[in-house]
Chain A
């Protein structure tokens, strides 16, 4: 009940389990008990609808059990009953902070079964929009981290950037969040007139604003360092063992990025670095995210410099009926490796679709890392994982 096994096993906790209950003599003599606390699903810091069942010894967390499923919308089942192109808007709503990657993964998986050639311009635009979408997700997640630490202001700065990117996205795709832009065989429409210049202008501005608005304001702050350094610390072995991907993995020093190691689409032609950090704590994840925003800016500039011309839609035929078989695609979403497995039986609806979202896997971290930390440390650790409710429940 008191989670003794967890305390004794060899762990990578940054702080030893403290408090009076750690000493069994005192505990038995005074009959002390732990408090059970139920955090969520309606809780401001739970990134949507997550419920944590906590066992507390004073302020120290002894046990933390995440309960998922409060935003389950049966995306996989719905996908089975829709025609192939009609599944794309469904995927949009899985990870609603980084929609473009969700569409991209599904389209890549189906295209493996289709006999279609993607025009180079479509590939480039896909990568371009994906990187915008990544910035759109990473910058607010920095804001969320600070919000959960108690600083309210950075989130508004972050959302200002998100709003500006959303306006660009709106001009390109017609929607601010649920884009439905990447289609089987290409993209919905070409970039509007003058759009590359507009994007270039925005990206230049963002590069200048990144330093004063997000780094100077946050990184040197004593309280920020005190609250994040050493919190949620884990070893690279542990991270690999848990199957983490994305920033939680890279901040421990493991260099893994699907875009780099299993390149897809236009990423083969791009020159970028995989951002890693060896500290493996919340502060490292913050630095990783900033670094990734910089890399995304670099990629967007490269794409805009060499934007190929031509069509943006391949010929898929009027009715999309992929060949029988399995199509698997993996892409790097803002939260980690996102994979889609489509099974086709030759009809015009998928036989089975499975979405492997990084949030579901990364969420294990809570159970492993949180015990031994203080209660307020749960919030920065959530910021390290940066999960999205829609993505872990699907």
Chain B
């Protein structure tokens, strides 16, 4: 598992492209998949925050938060662009952040990006096991497939 800053160092094109996709609509936006207690899956949109070498999320009281506390396994996927099918996915393990200074910093960056919150959320950092960036031609420009796949896996 690695922090976002390791992805930036080891695979800068993936980190740069991934960050651009996460923030393409203003606040960070992605779909977060978590593992239910029965091993099935759940998926919901959320607002990731990339700052200070980490990727974080503020997660309110919900089944997905209970999933993250129990299992931690996650995958997140950036929203799709409007003019092409580029993809950015991360998978790994989430852990709750207890450090008040980090929580305050992430909250500050989260709200500065235009996201809203109830103030009751818990802060999680997403440690990364693997990253995938898929780059396509704009729609209407051939070929549409296959995309250029850029992959990265954290060292064990």
Q: Do A and B bind each other?
A: no
